[in-house]
Copies of this chain bind each other. A is one copy, B any other.
Amino acid sequence: MAGADSLTGIEEAMARLEAYMQGLVESPVLWLSAPARHLLSAGGKRLRAALVFRAAQLGGRPIAPQTVYAAAAVELVHAASLVHDDLIDQSPHRRGQPTIHEKWHHDAAVLVGDYLFALAARAIALTGEIRVLEAIAEAAVAICEGEISTVDQVEPLEVALESYRLKIGRKTASLFGAAGRIGAICGGAAEETVAAMGAFGYALGMAFQIVDDVLDYVGDEHLLGKPAGGDLRRGLITLPLIYAVAHDDSDGLLRRAVARFGEPFPPEEFAAVLQRVQNSSGPRLAREEALRYYEQALKHLQVVTEPEQRSPLEEIARRVVERTY
């Protein structure tokens, strides 16, 4: 049963996670610490860590200290990928804060990302569980492949949908899937539950990314800490745009804009295109797709027979689809 060193519950596990991550970024090399600390304190939702902990609790045992390292590893891989992602996209802000390459320097962003990856590897080593490494390594490979895969056409609809799903599956859902798997592994769950938690996490990650892409068009700019239409401005084809083209582009305004992605957007045209997507059925249809992934995620929870064990995971899933920022 629970060893002397087990944690009592999710609040304690979350507090240990924060303490561990803050301790990590006190590198002997101060210049690295400042950007890393900036990043880790920028108020992430720790949704992936919560998924690890909740999946770990399925076995009915208290959360073990090794689970905190596993959750930290997932959050560190996520943070590392954000730093390099923002650098490549040249995004000036993330959660209302300046990004690393903006606040410090381009080289700092390369190095801070690498440093966070390396710290993730160290955290995984501390779990002492090679299956945690397996799951996170697969996700890390997928994230790189997702970062580089492109959605380069809005039609035919089925082709556009397929490349969009492939990209977000790799870029986002893979790490949510890993979080579900490794939580179940750390909790000592049976292989069937490990697989179900991986599938739950993956479907949830799909829903998460679609909601993210919808909010990029119709979210509250103050809550999000960034102006609407960032993806459109950067020429990224996401689900709301794909559905808007399919259903509300009889005059070809959107198709013409997409054909010129890569060239700078004249301000008036940008406003017209953004408004067209916002007022189209695109955001609603995308949100409905997110809900289908949410329902798919809930189905994978059926492997958990006790309702009181299922409900915290259902709660995480609800937070993902109901979030407004």
A121-B121 in contact (CB<8A):
yes
Q: How far is the CA of A138 from the CA of B143 in the complex (A)?
A: 23
Q: Which residue in B31, B88, B122, B140 is a CB contact (below 8 Å) of A111?
A: B88
Which residues of chain B are within 8 angstroms of A130 by Cβ–Cβ distance?
125, 128-130, 133
Q: A131 to nearest B CB, angstroms?
A: 8
A contact patch SS: helix
Bits for A110-150, please: 1 = Cβ < 8 Å to B, else 0.
11011101110110110011100110111011011101110
- Determine whether A29 belongs to the interface, using a CB cutoff of 8 Å to chain B: yes
Establish whether residues A137 and B111, one from each chain, have CB atoms under 8 Å apart when the complex forms.
Answer: no
A113–B118 Cα distance when bound, in Å, is 13
Given contacts A118-B137, A125-B133, A138-B122, contact A32 B87 (CB under 8 A): no
A275 interface contact, C-beta 8 A: no
- The reply on A107 being an interface residue by CB < 8 A is yes
Q: How far is the CA of A140 from the CA of B144 in the complex (A)?
A: 18
CB atoms of A140 and B125 under 8 A apart: no
Interface membership of A22, Cβ < 8 A: no
Tell me whether A32 and B144 are in contact (CB under 8 A): yes
A145 adjacent to B29 (CB under 8 Å): yes
Which residues of A1-52 are within 8 A (CB) of B?
A: 27-29, 31-32
Interface residue total, chain A, C-beta cutoff 8 A: 38
Whether A287 is near chain B, meaning CB under 8 Å from some CB there, is: no
| B residues in contact with A255, CB < 8 Å | none
- Using CB atoms, name the residue of chain B closest to A146: B29
In the bound assembly, the distance between CA atoms of A136 and B130 in angstroms comes to: 14
Output the nearest chain B residue to A87 by Cβ-Cβ distance: B110
CA distance A317 to B148 in the complex (A): 40
Answer yes or no: A78 CB below 8 A from chain B CBs: no
Bound-state CA distance A138–B118 (Å) is 8
21 A–B contact pairs at CB < 8 A?
A31-B148, A32-B145, A32-B148, A84-B111, A88-B111, A111-B144, A114-B117, A114-B140, A115-B145, A117-B140, A118-B141, A119-B141, A121-B133, A121-B136, A121-B140, A121-B141, A122-B137, A122-B140, A125-B133, A125-B137, A133-B133
Q: Taking beta carbons and an 8 Å cutoff, which residues of A are in contact with B? A: 27-29, 31-32, 81, 84, 87-88, 107, 110-111, 113-115, 117-119, 121-122, 124-125, 128-130, 133-134, 136-138, 140-141, 143-145, 147-149
